[in-house]
Structure 1
Amino acid sequence: MHVGSISTSISHWERATIIPAGGTGTGHATNDGIKGGSSSALSEMLYAYDAGEDPPYLTCEAIKNKRFYELLCHNLELPAYMGLSENLTIKDLDEIVDRIQEQLECHKPPEVFVITSGTDAMEQVAKYVNDKLGDLIRAKGVKVILTGANRDLTKPDTDIWDNLEFAFESGFREDIISGVYVAFHNRLIPAELVAKEPFNGIEMNYISKKDPKYWSAVLKSNLSDINIIRKLWWKLGIRDKAARSVVTYSVNVIRENHKFIRGYVNSNSIRAVLFTLYHSSTANTIDDDNVSVAKLVRDFEDDGVLTFAVNENGEPVNLTPTAYETSVKLGKAGLRGLNMRRNVALAKLWMTAYGSNYEIVDRMKTNYVGEIDR
C-alpha cells in the first residue's frame, strides 16, 4: 500500500493511536548528534505541526511522507518512554503498559495501537505487553503493533515511514486477529513468536520462531562455533579439557541467559569471555538491572575473568566516548573492544589457552592470528 492510498481514509486513522516509546524511529538524539538524552525529532516535528509550521526533517526523499505524517499527528499520544531502548527497565515497561491500559478501559478504545520502539528491545516490549495485557487486548478486539527503524527519522533514507505504514495497514486488516505484534520490514510477527533474526548483517531484523530460517540460522551459528573450536583444538594439539578456558557469549540474542553464563563461568574455571555484540555494539547497561551487560562485565572483571568484545558481523567495536552511551558504559565496566571478526578473536583467545591472562591481553591487541584460517 502506498502513502497516497492511506491518506484518503482519515476515518480509519481516527480509530488508531500511536505511542512513541523511544528508539531510532523517533529520531532520538542529543544536540551533539550522539544517541541519548531526552529530546526527539518526533517531538520536534509534533511541536512544529502544532505551531502551524512545516515539520523539520521532511526533506529530500522524506518530503513525500508529509501527508502521512500529518495524519499521524492527529493520533499521536504523549511519549510513554523516550530513553535508550536497550536500557529499558521494568518501570519503563510498566509505563508503556499503563498508557495502553488507560485507553483500553475507555468507553470506545482505539482499534489499533502502534508503538514505536527501539530495535534493541522491541521484541521484549512486545512480549511484556502481551504478558500483561494480552487477554484484555484480545477481549477488546484490539491490535497492538510495535515498529521502529534501523535508520534515524532525521535521515532522508529512514525506514520509519515504511514501517509505520505497514504497521497501520496491518492493524486495519480484517484477516488479522486481535493481539500484540511486531511489524518490521514487511513482516508481521505475533509477540509470543518474535525473535531477533540472528547474524543477518549490520541492520536489525525480526523473524518468527516458527520460521525454519530462524532455526537454521541458530543451528548454523552454533555449528560454526563448534567447528571453529574443534579446528583450533586440532591445530593446537589441545586435548586437555582444562585448557578450554575461553567461552563466547552472544549478548543480544540470548541476553536472558545471563544467569546461566554467570554460573557456567564460575563453575568451570573460565579465564576469558568473548562477548559478541549485536547491532551497533549496544547492550543493556542499567546498573541495577538483572539483564545488564555492564554489570555482568564488571562482575567478571572483579573475579579476574577477562572480557573482550567483537561484533558478529565484523563491524568495529567502539567503546570510546564517541560511541553509543551504552557502549561507553561497557568500556567503563572493563570490556575491551576489538576491531576484528569474531572467528579471528576467538582464535587468538584459544591460542593462549595455556598462557597467562596478561598473554591473552597482549595477544588480543596484536594482529597476529597464527596458523588459524580466517
Structure 2
Amino acid sequence: MSPQSLIRTTGEPAPSGTDPQVPCRISVIVPTRNRHVLLERTLAGILAQAFDAFEVIVIDDASDATTRAAYAAIWQGLDARFRLVQLGATGGSGSGPSQARNAGIELARGDILTFCDDDDFWTCASHLSAMAEVFDAGLAVDLYIADQVAVTHDGTRERAHWLPALAALVGRRSRDHARGYLLPIDDLVRAGGFAQLNILAVSKATTAAIGGFWTRTSYEEDRDFFWRAADAARALFFNPDIVAQHNVPDASRQNNLSRSFSQAERWLLSVLVSQHIAMTVRSSAIRTMCQAYEGDILRRLSQYWSGQGRHALGLQYARRALAARVSFKWAMYTAGLATRQVLRGRQA
C-alpha cells in the first residue's frame, strides 16, 4: 500500500496549511512521532531561513492523541508553507521513517527535496538559500551535502564536523562555486561515512529515479537512500559550512527507533543495508565500499558471538567475513576458531 493511500484511509483531517498559490522551490520533509517539544525547535530553525520559497511537509506517523493535539496547537502559529499530514491511526504502531518520508516525497511540490529529523535542527539561516544557489548554478547538481556538528544528550560536542575526511579532502582544492566543491563519486567513497539527512538535498527527479526510501528496513534507511541517490545523481556538491546540529540519541533510552534494536540486530541490519546498496548501484566504488563495510560488520558479529560462548555461530560469521573481505590476519583468526571448534567436538 502506498503512503498516499495510507493517508487517505486513516479518516484523519486533510493536510493542514496546503496552499497551491504559495511559491515552492524546495520541499522540506520532516517525519515525526510523539515529539512535539523537539519538533517545535526543529520548525523554528526552518522558519528562520532567509530563503522563503519553500514548503515544509511534516508527516505525523501515528502519534498519540495528546501529541496530535499539541501539533495542532503549534500549527496555529505557522504560515501556509507548513503542512501537517497525519499518517496512520492516532496512537497506532506507526509506519516507520522510510514510509513516512516517502509520504512526504509524494506530496512534495518542490523540485529540490531536503529533510530534517524531528530531534535535530538547522542552525544556519542561509542553509536553503545556499542550497538553491548551487542547484541553480548550471552545474547539473542532483545531490547537495553540507556539514553539521553532533552533540550528545548532555550537551557535549561529540563531533565538530560530520564528514571531516571529506572536508580535508576538498580543502586542498579550488572551489567550483562560491559555496563549495563538485565531488567525483570516488572521492565521496574515499572520504567514508555518509551525509545524514539533515544536511542533504536531492533533486526530486533523482529521488523518483531511485524509488525514494527503501521501506524494508527502519534502520540505516538514511545510509541506503544516500548512496543510491549519490549513484544516480548527475553531479554531487559539498558545501563545507556548518548548517545543523545532530543530537546523538541517548544510548540509555529506548525511545529512539535505532536504539530499540539489540546490538546484534543493528549489525545484521547494517549487513542487509550494505547488500541492498551494492545490488542496486552502478558504481563499482560504492559496491566495493559496501562489501568492505559488510566484512567489518561480520567480523564484529563473529567476535560478539564467540564472546557470548556461541562458538559455532562465531565461526560461521568469521567465514562469511573472510569471504566478504579477505585478509591474512582474519584468515588466521578464522582458522584458529575452526581448530578450537574441532577440538571441542572431540572433547564432547
Q: Normalized against structure 1, the TM-score is what?
A: 0.29
Relative contact order: is structure 1 or structure 2 higher (C-alpha 8 Å, sep ≥ 6)?
2
Q: Normalized against structure 2, the TM-score is what?
A: 0.31
